[in-house]
Amino acid sequence: MSEERRRKRRPSGEEPRRKRRRPSSGSERPEGAGSFLMGRGKDKMPKNESGNDLFYPVPFRFKIPRGETRKVLFLTSFEESFFFREHQLAVYYKGKQRFGQGLTCADQHQKGGKCPLCELGMEIEGLRTTIVRIFTVLDLTPYTNKRTGETRKYSRVVLAAKNETADRLAFRSEKISDQSEGTRNLKHALLEIRRGGDKLSPAVGSDFEWTGKHLSLKKFAEEDRKQFGPELFAPDMKSLKRAAKLLEKQAAHREKAESSFEDEYGSDDYDGDDAVEY
């Protein structure tokens, strides 16, 4: 209907109706989305001087593209690092299964109570549990903030080391101490970290080489000299419960699909495709 015909049908003096805006997909963050995906509640996020969220919702984690090398300054010694158990949920992106940001397990915290994800059992599909050791580092690779257009020479991020990576960092810390006759360790050490080209290589890198240098922090902003504390990774029971419900729903859907498949083909005589015997 044309605008002229609408004006003729509308009673005189009546204001035109406003179109209802449909929520834009992805442009606005749904309530609780950050808590669910990242494992942090919105009310727990620290604030900066302007009252804005200082970390949204947790510090960024250090990652290296495959085949690249980066220089990283450690703000945390191995002795100052801390560790906890973390759950990772599988998400599907462009048809491929990927594991997203982790959720801190609640079982190891006295105030957290029983962990809803641990109660599901470790064998449930779509859930991966591991121990992560947290280091605060300065990634000295320049980057440009796509939202603000600001270019920075470095960024303060979290290096979450798992299993063998944590062992490599422990070994590197001992080597630095031996080479400096016990006067130095991993803290303030400048390392070159390289990630191999293999898809299964650790996202934080696999080769940790000390450059032989320890840098002063005077040229870095005072806020960027601080270490991230364990309080930022406290378990969020609301997020854990939502994640557990999602996995239970997926498991029930998968079981129903398998049951329908067996009803059609049978559970014993199916060879994996529509085989024909001659």
Please tell me the predicted confidence (pLDDT) of residue 2.
57
Tokens of 117: 């994800």
Here the CATH number for the domain that contains residue 157 is: 3.90.198
Burial of 195 (0-12, 13-18, 19+ CB in 10 A): buried
Higher pLDDT among residues 239 and 257, named by residue: 239
Those residues whose C-beta lies under 8 Å from the C-beta of residue 152, and which sit 6 or more positions away, are: 142, 143, 144, 145
Does 22 map to a domain?
no
Q: Give the bridge partners for 96, in sequence order.
A: 93
Which residue range forms the structural domain that includes residue 43?
31-249
Please, which pLDDT band fits residue 16 given cuts at 50, 70 and 90?
low
Higher pLDDT among residues 2 and 77, named by residue: 77
Please tell me the predicted confidence (pLDDT) of residue 239.
86
Residue pLDDT, tens place only, 49-107: 333 333 335 688 999 999 999 999 999 999 999 999 999 887 655 666 666 668 899 88
Residue 205 has pLDDT above 60, yes or no: yes
Q: Look over the chain and give the mean of its residue pLDDT values, rounded to a whole number.
A: 76
Residue 213 has pLDDT above 80, yes or no: yes
Does 162 map to a domain?
yes
Please tell me the predicted confidence (pLDDT) of residue 204.
95
Does 264 map to a domain?
no
Tokens of 269: 């005589």
Does 13 map to a domain?
no
Q: Decide the pairing of beta strands 155-162 and 103-104.
A: unpaired
DSSP classification of residue 205: -
Does 109 map to a domain?
yes
Does 190 map to a domain?
yes
Does 1 map to a domain?
no
Does 139 map to a domain?
yes
